[in-house]
Structures are given as structure tokens and as C-alpha cells.
Amino acid sequence: MYKPLSEFDFRIYSNDKTSHITFILEEYMHERLPSLSCTIEVVDNKFLGWNINVWFELDKLLSFITELEDLEIKRQGSVTLNAMSPHEFNITIENYNKKGDLLVNYSLTNIKYNTDICLRNTLTGAFLLEGFSGT
């Protein structure tokens, strides 16, 4: 389910490996409100979306990772992460049955401006998370 790619980047896989969400660190701000910027890439079967410079409060992202690791063990409850601008990205991972199977729900929005027009492209979906065999 959760696989660190490097010290700062990680990926969440679906159970059939056809879908994943990747977090890639872009920038870190330590003054005032510690936060970091990530490129978020979502591949959900044949649908693909990404957004560059999605900002998260550092403590909320670290808390999400810790809670995700705990959810992997306990298989009960849910964890949520919202970007500082919540419309840009949000993810919730929750168990959805008594067996402890996990489901990820996500929404990723890319916003572009063309003169006076705001153009929004949103990818919203869900997928089952992979088993915890360590692969």
C-alpha cells in the first residue's frame, strides 16, 4: 500500500497495481508555517492527472504518514489529508468492511487561468489498496 520511494517521496498502490498516487517533494518552507510543496500524480487505471506545487502543512503530512502506517497495521478507521488549498488535492483512506479491506478516495484538481476564465480539471475516484505482503 504505502511505499517510500526516497527519503521524501512515496507512493500508494492499488491492490492490482493498475492505480497509484505518488507524492514527490518539490519545495520546503520552514519559516512561519512549516510547509512543503509536492507534485501529486494520480494514475487510476487509464486515467491520469497531476498537479504541481500542491502545498501541505508539514505537521499534517507527517501525521498522515504516521496514521497511514498505523492503519496498515490495525486495518480499522480512516486517515485524511487535505492540501492547504483543499480543492487542489484531498485523500481519505478507510476500511470499508469487517475483513479490514482498505479503500482510497481522492480528488485532484488542476486550475489554469486563460485571461478572465478559470479552467478546472478534476480527477476524482477510488481504488482498493494492495495487500501488505511488503511488495
Amino acid found at 97: N
Question: What number is the average pLDDT over the span 101-113?
Answer: 92
| Cell 492540501 found at | 83
Find the distance separating the first CA and the last CA of the chain, reported in whole Å. 9
User: What is the overall mean pLDDT for the chain?
Assistant: 86
Instruction: State CA 41 to chain mean position distance.
Output: 9
Q: Is the pLDDT of residue 25 over 60?
A: yes
For 123, the grid coordinates are 480527477
CA of residue 113 relative to chain centroid, distance = 24
Q: Which residues pair with 96 in a beta bridge?
A: none
Share of the chain above pLDDT 90, in %: 50
Mean pLDDT of 63-75: 89
In percent, the amount of the chain with pLDDT more than 70 equals: 91
Whether pLDDT at 133 is above 70: no
Query: How many residues are there in the chain?
Result: 135
Q: Assess whether pLDDT exceeds 90 at residue 107.
A: yes
Plot region of 70 (φ>0 → left; ψ -120 to 50 → alpha; else → beta): alpha
Average pLDDT for residues 22-32, to the nearest whole number?
86
Domain covering 2-128 in this structure, CATH number: 2.30.31
* Rounded-to-5 percentages of helix, strand, coil across the chain: 15, 60, 30
In this predicted structure, what is the pLDDT of residue 132? Answer: 38
